[in-house]
Structure 1
């Protein structure tokens, strides 16, 4: 069996702020921008991976969700507890400096991890953890 990742979803509470991060700071391309029933979904992706889409979605797009569920999702999002995404990069330090210079909210500066990668982390404007890593060479 051969399977490939096609899409992943990241909850955001302000698509314009999210685009300033994912498009402008990270350099991802906008592939789709769709509105439906007062909600918005924006699909972004790396030009180097045309078959993988990242969908920036409303925190709780399920129309059957209760007001309490929506509130709970908003609170989890605000705390940065919903999602994390990890990008690979050829140069963690250069990526870190680029994103920091673009105003990225630094969560962790570049560090060699004991599990074999060098990585760094930021929070996107919605609070999601976004990591950038590269396997360490011996």
Structure 2
């Protein structure tokens, strides 16, 4: 990737469309992907409508947004790869070992942001 896509960058892109509760980013064979959880279903719909096909940066990192089939994102750490905006007291990494993210597999309909070609993917959703 030419430019970094961090939790903070994704929050700036998605926050104007509603309260972002959680963001998880991860690397898959298809490239960088992210899951964004909104407080309401309507916010997720609004974000997808407004941002589908748009670029994160001028001329690159095009978003391919799909709705996720997950009910709830599990965020264990608030760091550069994941953030729970409803729980700011989470640690940045586990004690005594390097941080690892939960494995979000290639389940159908899970991703929503695909940046140019095999770039970032993310799932946008609202939990019940």
TM range (shorter): 0.3 to 0.5
Q: Considering fraction of residues, name the structure with more strand.
A: 1
Q: Considering fraction of residues, name the structure with more helix.
A: 1
The structure with the larger Rg is 1
Q: RCO higher in 1 or 2 (8 Å CA, sep ≥ 6)? A: 2
